[in-house]
Amino acid sequence: MAHPYRDVVIAGVHNTAQARQLEGHDSESITFEAALGALADAGVRPSDVDAVIGAQAQELVLGLRLGPCTRLPWQLGIPIVLEGADLVASGRADVVLIAAGGASMYTDRSSTAPWTRPANEFVVGYGLFTAAEFALMARRHMVMHGTTSQQMATVAATIRNNGHVNPDAVYHGRGPFTTEDILASRMVADPFHLLDCAMTSEGGCAIVLATAERAADFPSPPVWILGGASDSYGPAYQIAPAWDLVGRSDVPAGYVGRTAARHAFTAAGLRPDDVDVAELYDPFSFEIIRQLEAFGFCADGEGGPFVEEGNIAPGGRIPVTTDGGTMSYSHAGINAQQLQRVTRGVEQLRGSCVTNQVENASVALCSNGGSGALFTDVLLLGTERP
């Protein structure tokens, strides 16, 4: 059987300027900027777009005069890339625009960002928020495997240093960081110090998918979708995020994403050893240790020693989150920062990264989500047509 995405190409990517605050922008206007950038990168006109996906899809249809046009309102990163790929693969669209952006959403700085504060009746009274939910997963891993704050700090320092050298990162030039710097920052939700956590910022991100036939004339080298899948264990921030929560299989919620990764690797005919660069979603330092285990880059319980040995640093066995991720590059709210793992993967495979380019990268693994939120998505990209 032919690969489902044999005729699907990632043809354009674009990130707007990212900043702690983008003067004069709201989520809609920055999403438009991202969309136009990705269309220009692909070399297509708005009138070529057959389908739009993203929270602002309706506004884009109207504002760029795309109608009549397929519109999918779904919001989250890798799943909407896969939805877009399905539209192209099934012949329902030749060119798909995926766009996201966040600005002017986080204004009350006496509270944490609005998207981090759950209102569910079983968690709201306990002061839970994203950092605390993820800390509950991290703590359990520490209990089971002896994972240390020092090991988590190694992750945070590595990713923040990737952002430190990246001129496009919101926290460009803020480092370099040592593990001691991470451990010396104030505690947010034990074991997470401030510098173990994602930051908040504003910005937009967009991706254009197209048929391989259309993309043959496009300016950028094509990047291919080799496989992808999503795991969920239920609604985020409503029930206790217990590591050992299980559903229909014996894979625990602590390893959410493992099943998706297996699916993606099978579709691609690849193994973790074949991956050249991992653009892992990094809401908290521990999540990288967890994902390395979940995706099979190291054995269960060995994520801590694996990062301590320098394997995720530039030049290491599997460089991780090479632009600085949500800790240093950008974290613009709900979706843009999830799509940015994909755009960075594309840039690595194009060989166009200004900093931390992995030499001759031909396979990239991108991820979204995280254990505290009970979902993880995986996408495998490559330079070779599947």
Partner 1 sequence: MLEPQPVGIPVPNPSPASKPYWEGCARGELRYQRCDECGMIALRPATICGNCLSRSLSWARSSGRGSLYSWTVVWRPPRPSFTVPYAPAIVTLDEGFRMMSSIVGCEPDGLAADLPLTVEFHPASEDIFLPYFRPC
Distance (Å, whole) CA 372 – CA 379? 20
69 vs 113 by CB, closer to partner 1: 113
Distance (Å, whole) CA 205 – CA 217? 23
Could you tell me which stretch among 20-28, 232-240, 307-315, 363-371 binds partner 1 (CB under 8 A)? 232-240
DSSP code for 101: E
Binding to partner 1 by residue 188, rule CB under 8 A?
A: yes
197 vs 225 by CB, closer to partner 1: 197
Q: What distances in angstroms separate CA 246 from CA 216, 223, 233, 243, 258, one per listed residue?
A: 45, 35, 8, 9, 13
Of residues 39, 59, 103, 140, which one binds partner 1 by CB under 8 A? 140
Of residues 5, 32, 106, 129, which one binds partner 1 by CB under 8 A? 129
Smallest gap from residue 306 Cβ to partner 1 (A): 22
**Span 58-117, contacts to partner 1 by CB under 8 A:** 110-112, 116-117
Binding to partner 1 by residue 250, rule CB under 8 A?
A: no
Binding to partner 1 by residue 249, rule CB under 8 A?
A: no
The DSSP element (H or E) to which 193 belongs, if any, is: strand 192-193
Tokens of 169: 């990162």
Smallest gap from residue 299 Cβ to partner 1 (A): 22
Smallest gap from residue 241 Cβ to partner 1 (A): 7
The DSSP element (H or E) to which 203 belongs, if any, is: strand 203-211
DSSP 205-237: EEEEEEEHHHHTTSSSPPEEEEEEEEEE-S-TT
Please choose, from the candidates 23, 368, 330, 16, the residue with its C-alpha nearest in 3D space to the C-alpha of residue 199.
Answer: 330
73 vs 235 by CB, closer to partner 1: 235
> 47 Cβ partners below 8 Å, 6+ apart?
65, 66
DSSP code for 51: E
Of residues 143, 184, 216, 299, which one binds partner 1 by CB under 8 A? 143
Of residues 84, 241, 369, 386, which one binds partner 1 by CB under 8 A? 241
Of residues 70, 75, 232, 238, which one binds partner 1 by CB under 8 A? 238
Query: Which parts of this chain interact with partner 1 (CB under 8 A)?
Result: 110-112, 116-117, 119, 121-129, 131-132, 135-137, 139-140, 143, 186-192, 194, 234, 238-243, 245
